[in-house]
Structure 1
């Protein structure tokens, strides 16, 4: 039976699949240790009453007394190794003159913590045998050293009164009572252990049910959110996309009308102001059409994101194409130049293999957003890009370009010299602040990108600026764009701030728009390396 019970456990006395989560209480452990040690010490004391010094039995009793004092500490192991604790308690009570209370307590702990039928039955049988043996061992001793016989001895008899002890009942009856008490003790131990186990299992089941209920609530909330997102996407597709399409169509019609009017004007009879106004209207209509088409594409992107959020989440996963690498930056710059941008680039990146994926992706997105912002609001202006990345310096990204209004005024100065220029608005932002007024500090807006930061040698030669087709933009529309500058940059600043970096953007006194991002170097090895003990 014992071998069968041990077969259900592991080598160190623990059972893997039958564990029951029991929270051990300190006060309960303290009481169990005290009562177990006291009962064992009392049994040893009765056993040693008639011993004489200088005998082996006397030395045995002294040794048992020394072991009885800390014997209750064995029960402190019941939390992690209840099976081992139980069998050790049974062995101690069988060999040493200890009381069976410690074995019963160990049985309760094992039944409570191990939900195994074979282990429970084996433990009950072993505890019953040990308890009966301990009680019968006490009954069979001489009357003066037997606790049970001392209970049933007549008053006024015994060694204390100098007479032979007289029992109220015979030894067989006392043995029967002792066996019955042992059976009751074992039964109580089993019932208490089963009650503790059932309560723990019920608590665990309740916790799992609550967790499942919470999961159902979260799933329902996600479903409701997705249904709302689908409805919002449908509404945006039916209203916003339709309005933007009509806006682009009307802008195209206006551009065609002004082009036809401009072609039919008589140069000799038409004032220069009228011809300039017609040209400005045509350019503005072209800008409106382009911007409406771009806004329509962005609206479709947002609608797709609402309808398929799992695909949108994949955009935030770092990949080789969206990480800060030399190849990805060159591809990004080449795509921007193919779209008609003039870019002077200065890239100095080192030891990117040790950079964490999240920081690398955020740095790449910073370059991408800055170039996108320049293409939207200053098409045709030269953009200066500087990227420095090294473990000892961190990551520094700086992008600067002339404002769209300033670039247009330079190109159309001969035509509009007689017309007063509108006052230029300034905007700046630090981190996620909105673009309002003031100039960014010198620390965040270096005046040039020609010199590499910290005197480092660039990893690649500076690329010369390339000339792209010039796409004019209207002044009125570009003023509107300047007011909207920073919507994407604000989101970038929030992501940079989450990585404990800084992001500043805005115009300086010379109407140069700057985007300056700094990120601390987060090593990949520090994030993935396990802690050494």
Structure 2
């Protein structure tokens, strides 16, 4: 019995229109038919069918109609086995042809057994398949018994097991001997049927294993694609957060410097107009004007420095977008954005130099024992909180309460007053009740901050109270 080597193809691979059609059925397994096996199967099937027909024709005393049918069977034996070439896509049709031809024609069951093996390999268990198997078993045994019931010379079985008398003495069988030969032929039919079933089941199990492997590989590929997309999204979110944390902070300082400079310029203009009406170098208005000029020059220098810093930060963000591979290195927290006494002093100095009024209560201990990740997150929270406070507080004083220790963790509380109209305009009230609200004035930064703090295992709450004070309260573990 020739066998097929099965190989299940992964989903998405195309193998012709007919194969794509049967893939849609849940009871179908694709087991490709090897051309080499087909070349062997067809000639062998033709040979054994013709062999059986040749014995049947030698039966003495057959009628003319039966002799004609045997001749037709011999002709069909040259044609029907070619159906095995289509067993991959049409196993049911090939099995039906083999079953009917073996039942009606004096054929060996090889044709039927090959078709049965192909059908079992390519179709999942079902009531219909069980019916086909039962019919195949009956026809297979019948074809063998049918040959054993024929007289000597018209039977393959009798030719094998009968003694050689060289044609001189007619062979006579006892009833017991004939019964033994018939039983032996039926047993042989059952045996080859079992072998055919085992081959079909082996091909099916092999195809199922390979199909499962193909599905597992496809699932792994999809998982890898999703993981890459997720990593890319995380990187994009990190770059966006970095852009917000750095550029927004620097641009906010520039805006404050520019606003302060505008106010001082107006004051200088008034003093100069008043100074035109007075004489003398010791004029107090002239001295105030000189002081304002020096202050404006200082503000201009601060604006230039902050603008240059903003430009560098913008270039860094653009470079990360151009070279994502370097983004991880750029996004790694360094000493410049970690929680140290120097970095805290620099943040407060930048805010005060920009004209912000700050009240601070700072109690930090053993910062070197706090994990760098927790310190970097706290630094970003303070920077974002001060930026948000300066944006909404206008000329009012803001407050920062910072406590940090390895035992108690990091506690940050930033408050700033705001008016009703200003709070509503900037979406602060909405952010207090809806953590997912995003506004152009800062909701995106606070929402992103809350997500990062909570993902780190901390807590982040913000909102306004009855006195129109906006509170940002953050607790970060020092793990």
Provide TM-score, normalisation by structure 2: 0.49
Provide TM-score, normalisation by structure 1: 0.44
